[in-house]
Amino acid sequence: MQLPPNSIELTHGSGEPTHAVIWLHGLGATANDFPPVVPELGLNKTPTIRFIFPQAPNRPITINGGMEMPGWYDIRGVKIEDKQDAVGMAESQAMVEGLISQLVESGIASQNIILAGFSQGGAVTYYTGVRSKHELGGMLALSTYLPFDTHTEQEQSGVNTLTPILACHGTHDAVVPLALGEMSAKTLTELGYSVRWETYPMEHNVIMPQIKTIGQWINTVFEQP
């Protein structure tokens, strides 16, 4: 399978994977961020799950003085319109769609694939999931927002309207304000998407109670026929 450089793969369970999770890290982070979470999820022994943690390319980030760092797209400022880089987002969308296609070609049905992401990675998850030609098993959006929200209704494929979405956010998040995450979940709900909204007493991070909820949700999504 062709992955971005420095990406990480691991398998939960034994035998040939029948399910998969593509999990995108946040701005300035690396593919190493979320693999340690997998053993803490409390996943069922079956199905066998292939976890893919792609590494974002280094790119100049305007809000950080043009410093190069791992990023899925550029951020120009703190306002929502400054967090929307159409070119960078399209590049990341194409990368994710390519990974989904490769998994399908390997024998994993798209309905058995969860697309997950934290912060910037979560924005790519939202953006790609609503536009994807593939019917996904689920979307996991952590401490994030819906980019280009006013374009979503026109640009959505409609394929994943019934796909379960778990959106989690910290009540003390100073990076992606709680109100922005909440508004994103509301926008998708109003468009007919199945969004489960969860908040936790945390900042821009993940905590153990949230990790346990995520694991239970993955178990439920992957138990469905």
Domain ranges of the chain: 8-223
pTM of the model: 0.95
Q: Out of 12, 149, 173, 184, which one is annotated catalytic?
A: 173
What is the pLDDT, as a whole number, of residue 63? Answer: 86
Q: Does the annotation count 119 as an active-site position?
A: yes
In one-letter notation, the amino acid at residue 135 is: E
Domain 8-223 sits in CATH at 3.40.50.1820
pLDDT for 83 beyond 90: no
pLDDT for 82 beyond 70: no
Q: Out of 92, 110, 119, 143, which one is annotated catalytic?
A: 119
Question: Quick one: pLDDT band at residue 1, thresholds 50, 70, 90?
Answer: confident
Mean pLDDT computed over 200-206 = 98
Give CA–CA dist 175/38, Å, rounded: 25
Q: What percent of the chain has pLDDT over 90?
A: 91
Edge-to-edge, what's the strand order for the sheet holding 19-24?
Answer: 8-12, 49-53, 19-24, 113-118, 138-142, 164-170, 194-200
Q: Does the annotation count 204 as an active-site position?
A: yes
How confident is the model over 212-222, as pLDDT tens digits? 999 999 999 99
Q: Does the annotation count 157 as an active-site position?
A: no
Residues 178-213: b if buried by 16+ CB within 10 A, e if exposed: eebbeebbebbeebebebebeebebebbbeeebbeb
